[in-house]
Amino acid sequence: MRGRGNMASSSNSPCAACKFLRRKCQPECVFAPYFPPDQPQKFANVHKVFGASNVTKLLNELHPSQREDAVNSLAYEADMRLRDPVYGCVGVISLLQHQLRQLQMDLSCAKSELSKYQNLGITGHAGLFAAAAAAATATTHNHNHTTTILRTLGSI
């Protein structure tokens, strides 16, 4: 486990979950290793989307070595669900898949364009550079568009 350990046993400060739920953080608190006191919004989002009781049940059913990954996944899914209540993280996945398909088509077109120049027998550097520049322009435009969208979503 990469977590910071059980905060209830290592300090007097309750974990973010116990503080949010206004209860005493016990030494065996299942939330303490994953919701440190300095990350209150992480638990607030998870609680708002999934509910503390459901998260407790889930964590207790998992092997301790799986809990940190589960909490990180829940926190990401909760953040995305709060940003996009309809699609959540599936919306981001769908967007990225669409962009991947678009970039694959652009790459295919660029390769086709390059092949045309090669088939015409353009051997000089100027001709190959022109073909490469045309291919790079399309790819760079789509990469910049993708980066802008991801920044808007807060993923970068």
pLDDT, position 4: 44
Query: For the chain, which residues make up each domain, given as ranges?
Result: 7-83, 89-153
What SS3 string covers the chain? CCCCCCHHHHCCCCCHHHHHHCCCCCCCCCCCCCCCCCCHHHHHHHHHHHCHHHHHHHHHHCCHHHHHHHHHHHHHHHHHHHHCCCCCHHHHHHHHHHHHHHHHHHHHHHHHHHHHHHHCCCCCHHHHHHHHHHHHHHHHHHHHHHHHHHHHHCCC
pLDDT, position 12: 76
Write down the pTM of the prediction. Answer: 0.63
Q: How confident is the model at residue 6 (pLDDT cuts 50, 70, 90)?
A: very low
The 10s digit of each residue's pLDDT in 60-73 is 999 999 999 999 99
Q: What's the whole-number mean pLDDT along residues 108-122?
A: 87
- Half-sphere exposure for 104 (CA within 13 Å, toward CB): 6
pLDDT, position 156: 47
Q: What is the mean pLDDT of the chain?
A: 84
**Ranges 4-13, 18-27, 33-42, 47-56: which has the least confidence:** 4-13
Q: Is the pLDDT of residue 137 over 90?
A: no
